[in-house]
Homo-oligomer: A and B are copies of this chain.
Amino acid sequence: MYGNIFSEDTASFFRSPVREIFKKVDLNSIYSFAGGYPSAETFPLEEIRKTMAEVIDRYGGKAFQYGATQGVPELREAVAARYGVPVERVQITSSSQQGIDVCTRVLVDPGDVVLTSNPSYLGALQSFCSYRADIRGVAHNDDLEAFRADYEKVIAQVKAEGKTVKFLYMIPDFQNPSGESLTLEERRMLVDLAARHGFLIIEDSPYRELRYEGEHIPTMYSLDPDRVIHLGSFSKIFAPGFRLGWALAHPDILDKIYVCKQSLDLCPPIFDQYVAAEFLSSGRLDENLVRTIALYKGKRDLLLGLLEEHMPAGVRWTHPEGGLFLFLTMPEGFDAVKFYDRALDAGVAYVAGEFFHPDRSGKNTMRLNFSFMSPERITEGVRLLAALLCAEISDIQ
């Protein structure tokens, strides 16, 4: 009934297929490898309860009043101390999804190019599309020189079209959806590329602290703090229900984000910020993180073992050193979107890999989450999924 009253941007909005799945089914009634939900077991309810009482005692009404647009000083300082950056380089965001969105808003005009990996995080692709960015995905290449050349080729093409690359969006640690990380050399190469061609890098890093093996690799931000915007999140190391994250960037960039956030929502939720600050600076967050990492490492090992045991020949998967996801590749000809309804009818859910590919490739891929379900349900879920895949793949072959 509203005809063409809506803005041009709305024509580019697209719905998250992941969130649409959640509307249709109760996650607890099926074996769900879909979504990126942390395990509710990792939310330290008793410590949260204690911390909340302490915050009310300490701050009183201030914890429920309006606050600074940049975030409450206590949380900005706790984040700055944890990541070794000056406090004027910290903006608290109402979730790192907001970090992605507000960065895109202050950087992208319709038609501007955003470079990203192919595949990439769906929520970021939604944001880029909603501002009518021209998204160019570049697949990973294990050969560093070839990887560089792939990017150079796309950038040359963009220039030939008279367009501008505004930023490269990357999740260097335990990527969503692939679970894989960029090596230090790859990070250096991409930062160098950005400097030479004059674009920024958005480093989205919600999983970084969930490492189950191997050594931490320096952030892209640490390689060039004036060119990289680092986005962090409390969702995977504390609890997503607080909707809190942070952006680290040069003050000139944060200033644009700050003014934008004034009209977006004035300030992040105040009480939640004090709770997060208290949780961080008391050491409770780190204690809880140790337990979370042990739990998720066990689930990842379990899932890898089960795939090895049950998956039919011709199916490959990534071996993530951290994070929440791994990525399955089925033989050519398999269609994970078509297969999805059959899987859901049988009681098992995943996200088809195609949705993460800005170029709509990856039809034979799917993302599996291993954080949400219990070990028992992961076990039963993989058996069920593997049985369905065995039947489907023998049909293809």
Q: Which residues of A contact B (CB under 8 A)?
A: 1-2, 5-10, 13-16, 19, 22-23, 35, 37-38, 40-41, 43, 45, 48-49, 52-53, 56, 60-69, 94-95, 97-98, 100-101, 105-109, 112, 123, 126-127, 130, 166, 198-200, 226, 235, 239-243, 250, 252-253, 256, 259-260, 262-272
Establish whether residues B48 and A252, one from each chain, have CB atoms under 8 Å apart when the complex forms.
no
Establish whether residues A266 and B130, one from each chain, have CB atoms under 8 Å apart when the complex forms.
no
For A22, A41, A272, the residue with the greatest tally of chain B CB atoms inside 10 Å of its CB is A272
Which 4 interchain pairs have the tightest Cβ spacing?
Answer: A40-B61, A241-B270, A64-B239, A64-B241
Beyond known contacts A126-B263, A242-B269: 18 more, CB 8 A cutoff: A1-B252, A5-B166, A6-B107, A7-B106, A8-B109, A15-B262, A19-B69, A19-B262, A40-B60, A45-B61, A48-B64, A63-B241, A64-B241, A65-B239, A66-B235, A67-B241, A94-B243, A98-B265
A105 to B127, CA, bound (A): 13
Establish whether residues A61 and B49, one from each chain, have CB atoms under 8 Å apart when the complex forms.
no
**Given A40-B60, A60-B40: A266 touches B14 (CB 8 Å cut-off):** no
**Given A56-B49, A109-B7: A262 touches B38 (CB 8 Å cut-off):** no
A356 to B137, CA, bound (A): 44
- What are the residues of chain B within 8 A of A9 when measuring CB–CB? 105-106, 109
Establish whether residues B49 and A53, one from each chain, have CB atoms under 8 Å apart when the complex forms.
yes
Binding site secondary structure of chain A: helix
**Smallest Cβ-Cβ distance to A8: which chain B residue:** B109
What's the nearest-Cβ distance from chain B to residue A128, in Å?
Answer: 9
Question: Which of B41, B235, B259 makes the CB contact (< 8 A) with A13?
Answer: B259
A2 to B9, CA, bound (A): 26
A262 to B125, CA, bound (A): 11
**Given A242-B271, A262-B123: A5 touches B130 (CB 8 Å cut-off):** no
- List the number of copies, as a whole number: 2
A212 to B63, CA, bound (A): 27
A218 to B125, CA, bound (A): 42
A259 to B269, CA, bound (A): 22
Establish whether residues B66 and A260, one from each chain, have CB atoms under 8 Å apart when the complex forms.
no
Establish whether residues B252 and A2, one from each chain, have CB atoms under 8 Å apart when the complex forms.
yes
13 of the cross-chain contacts (CB-CB < 8 Å) are: A1-B252, A7-B107, A10-B256, A22-B68, A23-B68, A35-B66, A37-B66, A41-B61, A43-B64, A98-B265, A241-B270, A269-B272, A271-B272
What's the nearest-Cβ distance from chain B to residue A298, in Å?
Answer: 18
What's the nearest-Cβ distance from chain B to residue A266, in Å?
Answer: 5
Establish whether residues A240 and B65, one from each chain, have CB atoms under 8 Å apart when the complex forms.
yes
**Smallest Cβ-Cβ distance to A22: which chain B residue:** B68
- What are the residues of chain B within 8 A of A130 when measuring CB–CB? 260, 263
For A5, A100, A101, A242, the residue with the greatest tally of chain B CB atoms inside 10 Å of its CB is A5
- What are the residues of chain B within 8 A of A19 when measuring CB–CB? 69, 262
A15 to B63, CA, bound (A): 25
**Smallest Cβ-Cβ distance to A3: which chain B residue:** B198
What's the nearest-Cβ distance from chain B to residue A106, in Å?
Answer: 5
Establish whether residues A241 and B269, one from each chain, have CB atoms under 8 Å apart when the complex forms.
yes
Establish whether residues B253 and A2, one from each chain, have CB atoms under 8 Å apart when the complex forms.
yes
What's the nearest-Cβ distance from chain B to residue A296, in Å?
Answer: 15
Establish whether residues A14 and B259, one from each chain, have CB atoms under 8 Å apart when the complex forms.
yes
- What are the residues of chain B within 8 A of A60 when measuring CB–CB? 40, 45
- What are the residues of chain B within 8 A of A1 when measuring CB–CB? 226, 250, 252
- What are the residues of chain B within 8 A of A67 when measuring CB–CB? 241
A214 to B186, CA, bound (A): 68
Establish whether residues A265 and B252, one from each chain, have CB atoms under 8 Å apart when the complex forms.
no
